[in-house]
Amino acid sequence: MKHELEMTKPDYLIGDWPNKYKWFSWLEYVVSVTNPIFLVTTLKTSGKANANLQSWGLLLGEEGEYWSLMAIKKGQHTYENILSERGWCIDYPSYKDYPKCFEIIYSNGTSVDEIIWDRGI
C-alpha cells in the first residue's frame, strides 16, 4: 500500500527574512532535528586554508568504512576544493570559538588564509 503525504509549504509558515524559503527548504524548519555544528577545512587552489561552518552533516559507519556525510552547496569554495584536492578535515570547535567560526563567512576571499590569521582558529 502506498501512502503519499502532502509536501507543500503551509501558508502559515512565513519567512522572517527575505527569501528564507528560497535559500532553505521550509522542511528544514519543521522536521529538523538537532545537528552538531562543525567546521570543514580544505585547501584553496591559492594554497591558503579554507574554513566552512557547517551543520548539515554527520559522522557514521563501521570499522573500515567510516564516513563523513555532508551537504555542501554547489558554488561554495569547499565544494570546489574537495573536488580538486580530494581531501578535507572536519573540526568540532568549542562553543567559545563559535563567533570566530561565524566571522569566517564574511572573510571568504581566495587569498585569505581562514585558519592562521588574527582570529586564531
Interacting residue ranges for ligand FMN, rule: CB under 6 A: 37, 50, 52-57, 71-73, 76-78, 102, 105, 108
Return the number of the residue (59 or 73) whose C-beta is nearest ligand FMN.
Answer: 73
CB neighbours (10 Å) of residue 104?
19
Smallest separation, CB 61 to ligand FMN (Å) = 19
Smallest separation, CB 2 to ligand FMN (Å) = 32
Return the number of the residue (8 or 111) whose C-beta is nearest ligand FMN.
Answer: 111
Question: Rounded to whole angstroms, how far apart are CA atoms 68 and 88?
Answer: 10
For the CA atoms of 87, 93, 98, 102, what is the dihedral angle to 10 degrees? Answer: 0
Return the number of the residue (1 or 71) whose C-beta is nearest ligand FMN.
Answer: 71
Smallest separation, CB 74 to ligand FMN (Å) = 9
Counting other chains too, the contacts that 69-75 makes at CB distance below 8 Å and 24 or more residues apart are 70/40, 72/40
Which amino acid would we find at residue 32? S
Return the number of the residue (12 or 95) whose C-beta is nearest ligand FMN.
Answer: 95
